[in-house]
Amino acid sequence: MNRYIEENIHTFQDKNRNRARLLIKCPDQPGIVAAVSQFLYAHGANIIESDQYTMDPIGGEFFIRIEFECEGLKEKAWQLEKDFLSVAGTFNMDWKITYVREMKNMAVFVSSQPHCLLELLWEWQRGDLMANIAVVISNHENARDLVESFDIPFYHIPANKNIREQVEEKQQQLLQDYGIDVIVLARYMQILTPTFVEAYHNRIINIHHSFLPAFVGAKPYERAYERGVKMIGATSHYVTNDLDEGPIIEQDISRVDHRDDVEDMKKVGQSVERSVLARAVKWHLDDRIIVHENKTIVF
């Protein structure tokens, strides 16, 4: 890792040494916000940011994201989580506290097209994507020089549907070795097995080169061209065992017309893919996403 990136990380961690995020989902009822606010106040925390959403005001689900500062947070963290159990139990909460200075370890999977990987590396280099990109894994060799120029380990593991389980065994070993928290599929053109997906539930982010639910699966640009669409898009979503049907995090589109052939659409679409994936990854790293059934609430 070069010195500039290291300085960005150290500055970020020092600035956020006393900052944490609390994410909650639970059945809606009166008193939730008051109870959580009072709890944080009693533990010396100052709320910096708070966003909430109620899916249905009558008997619906409640979601909230709170970012707070608390002096001496590292020493208080264990007691804070222990004490919050009583509040969580009262309201039947599904909750987690994350500590901002503890940056997530990220693995990037890529195949032969590097444009989404490049976008992530540029964002990371600028200090706009705050994670530790610990490893890049590919079934092609062509991104090696690019990745290693950022001092990031690169592993080439050839893959196809006939050796999928053997490939994933090697991949999972690397993910364990590097302590990976989140996996980004930056145009990784292989289907993952149910066992692999379950091991990283809601922690695998994919970019699909189509505005889902249109053109699920392979060759969406070719099918979009044949259909004569007037706009093309990209979708970033969490991976599930249903192909390209996981909870959607972010989408965007760009207009095309009858003058554009398949290659023109791919060029336009790749720009959309890059930005959509980068935003989705940042939101995940910033703990802005709560998954509910097959939807996401993005604060």
**Which residues carry out catalysis?**
244
Other Cβ atoms within 10 Å of 77 Cβ, number: 15
Of 22, 27, 21, 20, give the one whose Cα is nearest residue 292. 27
Q: Quick one: tokens of 8?
A: 């960005």
Helix or strand holding residue 111 (H, E): none
State the DSSP code for 191.
Answer: P
3-state secondary structure of 80: helix
Q: Is 287 left (phi over 0), alpha (psi -120 to 50) or beta?
A: left
| Residue showing tokens 């062509």 | 142
3-state secondary structure of 232: strand
User: What is the residue-wise DSSP string for 144-172?
Assistant: HHHHHTTT--EEE----GGGHHHHHHHHH
SS3 helix, strand, coil % of the chain, rounded to 5?
40, 30, 35
